[in-house]
Amino acid sequence: MDEVKIGEILMPGDEETQARQEARVRRSFWPTLKKALRVIPFSRDVAAAYYCAIDPQTPTRVRGVLLAALGYFVLPFDLIPDMFVMVGFTDDVAVLAAAFRMIQAHIKDEHYQAADRALANDPDLDPTRTAATG
């Protein structure tokens, strides 16, 4: 995937754009990650990026970049449809990897710890649900 296209995708946007992206990411992140777990080699990093993106202490520009990357990840239609299991997430991986290179210093241990808890507790990989609420 070409660097110019990735750069366009990762534009942080204004507050309104970020708010829309955050709502989309919060709604679709966990179901999308569940589908991608077997093909994305850095699922833990993706989950930590999610927690970093929704952390109000994360700098606005960093949140914007992460929300743009995660927003692209959760889009049902992108350059290579995710329904093509082995190759469908390759463009998502490229966008996420570029975002991580840009902001990796901002993903804190607490974001990784939250990711670890979510991935370990996994009732269908949605940490907002528990086995009791199913």
Model confidence, pTM: 0.74
Domain ranges of the chain: 3-121
Distance of CA 97 to the CA centre of its chain: 11
**Distance of alpha carbon 109 from alpha carbon 15, whole angstroms:** 26
Q: What is the pLDDT of residues 60-113, one digit of tens each?
A: 999 999 998 898 888 765 444 444 444 456 677 788 888 888 888 999 999 999
Give the closest residue to 97 by CA, choosing from 30, 35, 9, 14.
9
